[in-house]
Structure 1
Amino acid sequence: MKEEATAVSNEIRRHKRVVVADVLRGVAVMGIVLLHNIEHFNFYSFPDKALQPAWLNFTDKAIWDSLFFAFGGKAYAIFALLFGFSFFIQDDNQKMKGNDFRARFCWRLLLLFVIGCIDAVFFTAEILVMYSLVGIVLVATCRLTTRTLLILASIFLLQPMALFNIGAILLNSDFEVMKVPTSELWGATFAMQSGGSFMQTAVVNLWEGQLASLAWAWDHGRIFQTAALFILGMVIGRQGWMLKEYQKGWGIAACWALPLFCALRGLDLMLPDYILNKDMLDQAHLLLSSLYNLCFMILIVAGVLFLFYNTTGTKEMLCRLIPYGRMSMSNYVSQSIIGSFIYYNWGLGLHDRLGITASFLVGIVIFLAQLSFCRIWMKRFSHGPMEGTWKRLTWIGAR
């Protein structure tokens, strides 16, 4: 009887699932699948524009610019924010049971690394491997005070390497920013995407592709930005900022984020007229784009939370994304498999036949197909296939 009472107590003393987080995951993964399709899954090979009608070139540009404005750098940011949020929920649930989750989470990150490598077989620019590496920051910082976490996240968001490089250029105009040489790596992946078999593409993707992707993430500030968002997601969970009663705070954040986004993006667009040093321009763009993408992400999150908690019709529509968000990893990995099969040489090889507009429509079809599958799957199971496997392996050997 005592053991049963303890089990019941432990079951009660845990966080309830915050379903709006699943909605946000659904929005993020939807944006990611649409972006990946118009990019041909990091395979920038498209039909000849000169052979297309003018109206199609117009829609191609309109779709490309619109999707990158809405989701470029923002969908991944939401995904990263929710990664930190999920860590807090898991860690705090275990603390309430008297357990320390940190060692188990390190094992979970190792499993994520393996899942990321599986994803990388198909898609060179996947982010799960990077998450598995950067995720150690959560283990290192989760016992710090909220004030310290906010300071640390702010430092990461200000892109310390970019600031260092800007300062070095100001002191010495001949200073050259060190970048990881990746042209040969990207060239190798492009060659396999264009003409390689599945096995050839997989081998190159796993080595050259992953090295190029991680180097790109470092050169473009994604490492620091991801670490900051992981920490902020953990703080959001700790403070309960995803709950309905904290909507006023998100409203205030949105009121600050909108003018800051406009100012930072406007400044970024003006910089080429005033900065001639290319390295300085690149580093300033890296810093400003990181900050204005963060501002836009805040607007998206605040908007979704407001619609979810304060409207009826829109909430019902957003709730349709809950199964999709709960199966975000399964959807992320499966869209890599589907997309590489559609566009790469080892599959259908449609990279030079489907333009941006057609690829956007393909992305919508993939999203709708995944959404339908998720709705059916979640009626029978509590977790998606990848999520369930990851969870079971996470707790393997646990008592």
Structure 2
Amino acid sequence: MSLHPTSPQERLEVLDQIRGFALLGILLANMAFFASPVVYIQMAGIDEWESLGDKLALWGIQFFAEAKFFTMFSFLFGLGFVLFMERAEAKGYSVLPLFTRRLVVLFIIGMIHAFFIWAGDILMLYSVLSFILLFFRRSSPKTLLAWAVGLWAVPVVVVTLLLAPGFGGEFSDPQWEQSAYHYIERSIAAYGSGTFLEITAQRMFDYLFMAINSIFVAPLVLAMFLTGLYVGKRRFYQQLHQHETLFRRIRLLSLCIGVPAALLQVYSHQQMLHTGLTLYQWLHFVSVCVAGPGLCFFYITSLLQLCRRQRWQRRLAYLAPVGRMALTNYLLQSIICTLLFYNYGLGLYNQVAPVWWVIIAAVLYPLQVCFSRIWLGHFRYGPAEWLWRSLTYWSWQPLKK
């Protein structure tokens, strides 16, 4: 009996809906990185946008989206590992070689994405960290939860120890700021008016620069992986009505934690730019680490609640095709947005304000909903999912329905 990918009929609809919703948040959170050298702007301590509309749009993105949706995808990735593992073992196959091939293919897709489309890729980080999941596949739920909490605390403790000695002073450094201004000019020149080769060179530089900072993001991603693995082992995703009380408590707790932390995230970011104090830099990092998972779980449990209401079932059903084509749509967002902002497209890099970031996302995402629905009306999988599955199972999968 040959092993084959999960058919669309076998998929859990609600997980696809959550994944589809997460793609909207990912798009919103990534718009600043598509449209401007935001990493280097923050390094330089520049408060670039002056109009109230642009500030409100930026604050809205920071409050509702920033750090809330890569954590959601990380959680779903860990949960998906449980489903993948159990199904492979039920067929009598070894998880290790199959999952290894799956991650190698994902790493290659991520490398192409990072170096030839957009430097903000997270797929390579996901693929590397996912190997660690193999060491936890036999762990008890209690052990998984303990490790998840511990890993979440690691970056908070490390950053606290690094920044605590300077809480009373500024973190600005003239040489650091000078480098940041140089990187801003270099990015605008490359993406705004450079050739494809110059843009590719800048992409590689940006990715490697941001990869250094991923050492602080990686523990949080891995913590969310393990939380998803924990939920999968406890089978909370099955028979949702039986866990309604638990979901209600999580929703209330995550709301009470996530909203104040997200407000602190926005406030500390502004104070960090205006005052340059190390204290606000620390507050911003800690608030991101708390607000990200906090509002992430509030969003998930709220969607689980809505999906049980009949009038919402039809509305949320539109999200499922987007979620089933999550990899394709993630890559499409990068392709379309870089065509809008980079010189080999419309060349709007660093010329579009935050209000327009929200407008572009509000136009692009419904188009992805329509595209996904039409595509899956004729095909079993999205094109990227089909390639990923075919290379994972080492045989070309049937694409047409």
| Shorter-normalised TM range | 0.7 to 0.9
Displacement after TM superposition at 1:284 (Å): 4.4
Displacement after TM superposition at 1:280 (Å): 5.4
Check conservation: 1:91, 1:102, Cα contact below 8 A: no
Displacement after TM superposition at 1:350 (Å): 1.7
Displacement after TM superposition at 1:229 (Å): 0.6
Unaligned runs of 5+ in 2: 42-48, 397-401
Identity in percent = 23
1:227 to 211, 222, 230: 222
Check conservation: 1:186, 1:208, Cα contact below 8 A: no
Give the 3-state SS of the residue equivalent to 2:77 in structure 1: helix
Task: Tell me what 1:359 maps to.
Answer: 357
Give the whole-Å Cα distance in 1 for the aligned partners of 2:192 and 2:5: 52
Task: Tell me what 1:238 maps to.
Answer: 233
Displacement after TM superposition at 1:210 (Å): 1.7
Displacement after TM superposition at 1:343 (Å): 0.6
Unaligned runs of 5+ in 1: 47-51
CA displacement, residues 144-182 of structure 1 (integer Å, 9 cap, x when unaligned): 111111110001111x143134246658989x99xxx99
Give the 3-state SS of the residue equivalent to 2:378 in structure 1: coil
Displacement after TM superposition at 1:337 (Å): 0.9
Task: Tell me what 2:81 maps to.
Answer: 87
- Matched positions, count: 373
Check conservation: 1:78, 1:297, Cα contact below 8 A: yes
Task: Tell me what 1:202 maps to.
Answer: 200
Q: Cα distance 1:164–1:38, how it changes in 2: closer, same or farther (>3 A)?
A: closer
Displacement after TM superposition at 1:189 (Å): 4.3
Are 1:384 and 2:382 matched, yes or no? yes
Q: Which runs of 4+ in 1 moved over 6 A?
A: 171-174, 184-187, 270-273
RMSD: 3.5
Give the whole-Å Cα distance in 2 for the aligned partners of 1:28 and 1:141: 25
> Could you tell me which amino acid in structure 2 is paired with residue 260 of structure 1?
I
Check conservation: 2:17, 2:316, Cα contact below 8 A: yes
Displacement after TM superposition at 1:188 (Å): 4.8
Check conservation: 2:163, 2:282, Cα contact below 8 A: no
Give the whole-Å Cα distance in 2 for the aligned partners of 1:11 and 1:76: 25
1:119 to 91, 106, 113: 113
CA displacement, residues 326-352 of structure 1 (integer Å, 9 cap, x when unaligned): 001100101101111101122111235
Task: Tell me what 1:291 maps to.
Answer: 290
Question: How does the TM-score come out when normalised to structure 1?
Answer: 0.83
Q: Cα distance 1:362–1:170, how it changes in 2: closer, same or farther (>3 A)?
A: closer
Task: Tell me what 2:347 maps to.
Answer: 349
Give the whole-Å Cα distance in 1 for the aligned partners of 2:184 and 2:211: 12
Give the whole-Å Cα distance in 1 for the aligned partners of 2:364 and 2:372: 12
Check conservation: 1:189, 1:208, Cα contact below 8 A: no
Check conservation: 1:378, 1:384, Cα contact below 8 A: yes
Give the 3-state SS of the residue equivalent to 1:123 in structure 2: coil
Give the whole-Å Cα distance in 2 for the aligned partners of 1:307 and 1:70: 19
CA displacement, residues 276-331 of structure 1 (integer Å, 9 cap, x when unaligned): 9955553443233211221111111110010012x111121011111011001100
Question: How does the TM-score come out when normalised to structure 2?
Answer: 0.82
Q: Which moved more, 1:163-172 or 1:31-40?
A: 163-172
Q: Which moved more, 1:376-385 or 1:32-41?
A: 32-41
Give the whole-Å Cα distance in 1 for the aligned partners of 2:342 and 2:165: 46
Give the whole-Å Cα distance in 1 for the aligned partners of 2:310 and 2:263: 36
Task: Tell me what 1:143 maps to.
Answer: 138
Displacement after TM superposition at 1:127 (Å): 0.9
Displacement after TM superposition at 1:373 (Å): 1.1
Give the 3-state SS of the residue equivalent to 1:378 in structure 2: helix
1:62 to 56, 64, 68: 56
